[in-house]
Structure 1
Amino acid sequence: MYVVQKNHLRLSKADFSVLFRVAHRCKNLYNTTLYTIRMHFNQTGEYISWKELYHLLKAHPNYTDLSSDHAQLTIRKVRQNFSSFFELLKKQKEGSYTEKVGVPRFLPKDGLFQIEFISRQIRREGRFLRLSLGRAKRTLGVGYIYVRVPRNIENRLITGVRIIPKFRSYFEIEFLYEPDIILPELDSSQYLGIDLGLDNFATAVSTRGTAFILEGRGIKSFNRWWNKQKGKLQSTYDKMGLKSGRKMERLQIRRYNTVRNYLSHQVNAVVRHCIEHRIGTLVIGDWGDMKRGLRMRKHVSQSFQQIPFALFRRKLQSKAELHGIEVVMQEESYTSQMCSNCGLIRKSNRVHRGLYRCSNCHMERNADVNGAINILRKVVPEEVFTGFRWNSGDIISPRRLKLVSFRL
């Protein structure tokens, strides 16, 4: 198994200029490839083969301006996008996909595209990687770019590097390597259920009798602050007749980094809890397409829509599986209305945002803990679920974990 580590790439002005030009040439080739594929499809009704596409493009200036490896990887990326497009069309015809499917679009004229390096373009020189630019040296005047290897992967064999432009202001770098993972001893018959929300970003309950809540009010407040700052800047730009500017770019970069840092901390906390308590199965509540087309009050909708729960699920699933933890995505219908003690479903039992009081058995419990237990109920075998005392340990009074501080 290979993993990817992403870092902010710090460069000299000269190196930044070189990578900027290469990324711009990759964008040009991307658009040229996209145009060629679309024209061929419009004229023949068929998807062009790789061999035919290669022979059409190999003499094009946008192809020869790049090394052959960079050029072919860029072309393959366009073909991957088209393959995804046709696959979605197929699912749409079958009725398993209901959203609008759009053909891959051209990148902006002044845009940039990722630069990918494979193993034969990478050479280790001490604590640095030498990345070859190939025949692009003829027009760039530079044949190599040197990047420093992060300390935590200095001893790893790096087999691939991807440089990704962000906001036209900086580059991110991804290192592909094979980690040395020692799988912990886990019990697959022990479960941890997770209920996602806003003020309580994630509420987790396990069959070990443990429970904790990941604080969500910080990221919610940060989003509110970010929207206010963005609105003020956009108003100023509108008066000046501008679409965007440096301040807006810096604001977007700050949000991008803040949100991903927050999600990484939450993911680490969940996986660490599973390893410490030898929990082998993770059950995550899945909303499906609930966000799409959702109608709610403006201030609630803004907070709800802008927190990337799907990204959190993907990151959590990836890290959990890396450590040998099985992940189950479970739809959570009626989990907030059902009593986790007697099974009664009644909406009015949710008396407050944070309190569930059953009108039948008079059980009182934190509403999100109640939801997490009900998510587990859908997956955990009945004999395990009924044999566990759900009124013990941390479940009565779950720990609240605040892992990240926000500076506004």
Structure 2
Amino acid sequence: MFQICDELCYLSKNMYNLCNYTIRQEFFKTQKIKKYGDLNKELKSTDAFKELGSNSAQMVTKILCKSWKSFLVAVKDYTLHPEKYLGKPKIPAYKKKDGRFICTLTNMQTHIKDGYLYFAFKRMKPYNNLIKSNVKGHHLSTRIIPKGGCYIIEIVYEDDGNIQQLNSNRIAAIDLGLNNFVTMVNNIGESSIVINGKGIKSYNQYWNKKMSRLRSIAKTVNDINWTKQMQKLTDKRYFKMEYLMHCASKYIVDYCIKYDIGTIVIGKNDKWKQNSEMNKVTNQNFVYIPYETFINKLEYKCESIGINLIKTEESYTSGTSFLDNELPIKENYDKSRRIKRGLFKSNNGEYINADVNGAFQIMRKVFSNVTTNEIVGAYSHPVIINL
């Protein structure tokens, strides 16, 4: 099956580059991009289109047209707000000659039957009844995604929905960190929880150490920068992080359902990894933790349940005091009150976990009327959750 997936993604790459070439030439001449329908008419007689098949080839065209439209929107926005970007947006690039690209099989080429994935075209039929699926919604397509030394088969479906009527006035707030990967507080008097991040941190340290050794051997012995063993190790780390991010996000959603919490506020700063000012070791651990993946997984899970997820920047939350009912603004900021590692001291001498204080201040960023009177004892002793 690997060989067929590899060939399909190679043909998809050929179609991508041909389609991209056609769009680029038109853009350089007229500063406009060709429409999806015109591209299909022009390219349907080409070898790349025929070899991949019309359904999958049209999906490549659709993806590329969307990328070009996003590029034009980004360029227009860049001229107005360049500070939002790390650099000027670039036109969609070609894929490498020996590269691969996502191959999308429509629901005319694949379908779900009796809990298994079935293929409608001859070359893939030997693999019918092999891939199990618990998809219950309307099947839209199947994607073959190249990922280093393997291929991931994704089933895309429309969720029938399991929207629950949760109380939007019951709020949870999340502060993301390193040793405490997730610190979650609430306004309903339940204990705060901390999802332990030391396992994630430890695995990243192991990966960095192994990769450094393999990189050194590859360069010294063979004068190359990448090996199959390095790719295998990277793939292993990717799947490990995906699993942990899924577990963490699922725990939070299940927690909200259990306690009828309909709103989550999460702190997220744009470019926080690019602008990190930590020491070298801490920074290495920080940038390798996939916070964006976690937020994306949490977002789609919340959407499927009916939980309102609010993302907010978290400036001044670590140095302002929740216990003193301070707003997280510059005038109240005094980080010297964070007297010990993980401990914050209020103005009246009361102690609180520093990450719990930060999470409550993130909540206050959006809901400024939240006070300590509503949350008696909820911040005293956070419960540690190990993934």
Structures share a fold, TM > 0.5?
yes
Other-structure match for 1:365: 352
Of the three residues 1, 5, 18, the one matched with 1:32 is: 18
SS in 1 for 2:141: strand
Aligned 1:90-239 pairs, distance under 5 A: 90-95=76-81, 97-100=84-87, 101-124=89-112, 126-133=114-121, 142=123, 144=125, 146-147=127-128, 148-150=130-132, 152-153=134-135, 156-167=137-148, 169-210=149-190, 211-239=192-220
Other-structure match for 1:307: 289
Of the three residues 69, 72, 88, the one matched with 1:83 is: 69
Per-residue deviation, 1:387: 4.1
Query: Contact between 1:286 and 1:329, CA under 8 Å: does it hold in 2?
Result: yes
Other-structure match for 1:3: none
Distance change (3 Å), C-alpha of 1:193 and 1:126: closer
Other-structure match for 1:5: none
Distance 2:113 2:255 in 1: 39
How high is the TM-score relative to the length of structure 1? 0.87
1:71-93 alpha-carbon deviations (Å, 9 max, x no partner): 11111111111111111111101
Aligned 1:58-77 pairs, distance under 5 A: 58-77=44-63
Per-residue deviation, 1:129: 2.9
How high is the TM-score relative to the length of structure 2? 0.91
Per-residue deviation, 1:64: 1.4
| Residue range with higher mean Cα deviation, 40-49 or 279-288 | 40-49
| Residue range with higher mean Cα deviation, 56-65 or 199-208 | 56-65
Other-structure match for 1:23: 9
Per-residue deviation, 1:309: 1.0
Other-structure match for 1:320: 302
Distance change (3 Å), C-alpha of 1:127 and 1:206: closer
Distance 1:296 1:91 in 2: 31
**Letter of the structure 2 residue corresponding to residue 122 of structure 1:** T
| Residue range with higher mean Cα deviation, 20-29 or 177-186 | 177-186
Query: Contact between 2:323 and 2:372, CA under 8 Å: does it hold in 1?
Result: no
Distance 2:373 2:252 in 1: 25
Other-structure match for 2:30: 44
1:335-369 alpha-carbon deviations (Å, 9 max, x no partner): 110011212531110112200012x2212100000
Other-structure match for 2:235: 253
Unaligned runs of 5+ in 2: 327-331
**Letter of the structure 1 residue corresponding to residue 151 of structure 2:** F
Distance 1:40 1:31 in 2: 14
Of the three residues 374, 377, 380, the one matched with 1:396 is: 380
Distance change (3 Å), C-alpha of 1:181 and 1:72: closer
**Letter of the structure 2 residue corresponding to residue 52 of structure 1:** D
Distance 1:125 1:187 in 2: 37
Unaligned runs of 5+ in 1: 1-14, 404-408
Distance 1:127 1:290 in 2: 42
Distance change (3 Å), C-alpha of 1:305 and 1:125: closer
Other-structure match for 1:346: 334
Per-residue deviation, 1:158: 2.3
Per-residue deviation, 1:294: 2.6
Distance 2:43 2:223 in 1: 39
Query: Contact between 2:322 and 2:372, CA under 8 Å: does it hold in 1?
Result: no
Query: Contact between 1:130 and 1:145, CA under 8 Å: does it hold in 2?
Result: no
Distance 1:86 1:75 in 2: 17
SS in 2 for 1:194: strand
Query: Contact between 1:202 and 1:213, CA under 8 Å: does it hold in 2?
Result: yes
Percentage identity across paired residues of the two chains: 32
Alignment size in residue pairs: 376
